[in-house]
Amino acid sequence: MKQKFNNYFFLAFFISLSLIACNNNDKKAEGTEATDNAGTPPAENTTTAAAEEKIDAAIAAPNLYKVVTDTLGIRVLEATYKPGDSSVMHSHPVNAMYVIQGGMGEFSLKDGTKMSLELKTGMSAVRGYDLHSVKNTGKTALKVLLVEVNRPANITAPDAATDATKVAADNYTTLHDSLGIRIVEVNYKPGQTSAYHTHPDYVAYVVEGGTGELTDKDGKKNINDIKAGTSWLTAAHGHSGKNIGKKPFKLILFEVSRGRN
């Protein structure tokens, strides 16, 4: 019975991804995604931890999954599938994803259930544990950034007084907020500044590069030339921001509010 429920959950997830792709440009926030009507986080998967079959994607398919960084209970993977590439069955813990380069993929469950889906560039989602294999059935390479979180589910809510999406709402927009992972889109126009704010541990991915200046609580400034396509993992900290370049820059943040092991 559990396996059948898992299959339906998996299919529902990929259907929801299609809807996200259609609506992503119009959405400014999805804070309600993280809770049910009672205000409690949804269950992150349909199996217990002991029942989860763990098959590391980077070990099972090292030609397709490259480890970018792995620290603080957070692992960043870059998955690249060329046309015709396929992976063996593998698993992911609670994770978030961002489609760097879109394409067509066929996803297969352990019981043989298959689903074909177009993953569009810029699509993002937060997901619970899953087990599948993937095949690129399209004519273009498919590239996805995965942020896997191996932390307990003791989730801490952000402090509204310093939450970036509250105190710097013009720059930080929540796309998804679920399972202790929040995906935030960051936009700074040339000359634009933000008030002092804080972030939990997070992964950043640069969609459009530029030059930013960060100022910490003590007034220390740090100038960064951020290049499109780069990513990094940073421990929790606070700062104000400013675009000191001549063009806008855009980032995607994967903030992790789960406690460290």
pLDDT at 195: 97
Q: Which domains does the chain have, with CATH numbers?
A: 2-36+45-149 (2.60.120.10), 164-256 (2.60.120.10)
CB 155 within 8 A of CB 180: yes
Q: Pick from 225, 218, 241: which is nearest to 170 by CA?
A: 241
pLDDT tens digit at each of 261 positions of the chain:
444 434 444 444 444 444 443 344 334 333 333 333 233 333 344 444 446 899 999 999 999 999 999 999 999 999 999 999 999 999 999 999 999 999 999 999 999 999 999 999 999 999 999 999 999 999 999 999 999 999 999 999 999 999 999 999 999 999 999 999 999 999 999 999 999 999 999 999 999 999 999 999 999 999 999 999 999 999 999 999 999 999 999 999 999 999 998
User: Phi/psi at 179 (nearest 5 deg)?
Assistant: 60, 30
CA 10 to each of CA 17, 47, 166, 188, 195: distance values in angstroms, whole numbers, following the listed order: 11, 13, 33, 36, 40
